[in-house]
Structure 1
């Protein structure tokens, strides 16, 4: 039988709120980074390297500032919830905005 301290360790509405806030942070920053990559004219692997560098910076900032260095207090899976889980959805948003902005800026080149 599970320990009662483990069962009541996380209050589910609070964890869901934290996950939603983290998702909003990652989505909005991916739009900003995608816009910057499109305007800078990054193509191919340079754009993906730009995304990964910014992903690492944003994840470290979230861990340091929002989670105060203790992600296990705010999320069940700790660092995976902050850095790993939302990666694919954020990458798709980034690519969408990146290609849109690149097409808008460099349409007549």
Structure 2
């Protein structure tokens, strides 16, 4: 007999809830990382490299902590849902907060 977790593995309301929770985590962490980049005074490619490094760390932590190392249990396309799909939306939020914080800290001294 199949386990109960396998029966609800791709139950659409559960997958949508997981995707919404993941989106919230990525949005909030992009705001925090953008704030850190702005306050640190990162400009140009340094800011984007900082974003990519933090994105890798955050995605890895989500897979290890929230998904317990098994993202395929919580998402349909497993790791791509966690790390690949929301990167552009999160990048836009990051750039917005990054430039705002950089302007507040360094331009208006």
Match of residue 71 from structure 2: 71
Runs of 4+ off more than 3 Å: none
2:79 and 2:70 map into 1 onto residues whose CA distance is 9
Match of residue 21 from structure 2: 21
1:68 and 1:9 map into 2 onto residues whose CA distance is 15
Aligned residues: 104
Classify the secondary structure of the residue corresponding to 2:107: coil
Match of residue 4 from structure 2: none
1:8: Cα distance to partner? 6.7
Match of residue 44 from structure 1: 44
1:108: Cα distance to partner? 3.7
The CA RMSD measured in Å over matched residues stands at 1.6
Match of residue 4 from structure 1: none
Alignment of 1:1-109 (within 5 A): 9-108=9-108
- Point out where structure 2 has 5 or more consecutive residues left out of the alignment: 1-6
Classify the secondary structure of the residue corresponding to 1:89: helix
1:47: Cα distance to partner? 0.3
- Point out where structure 1 has 5 or more consecutive residues left out of the alignment: 1-6
Match of residue 3 from structure 2: none
Deviation readout 1:44-90 (Å, 9 max, x if unpaired): 00000000000000000000000001001000011000000000000
- TM-score (normalised: structure 1): 0.91
2:9 and 2:25 map into 1 onto residues whose CA distance is 25
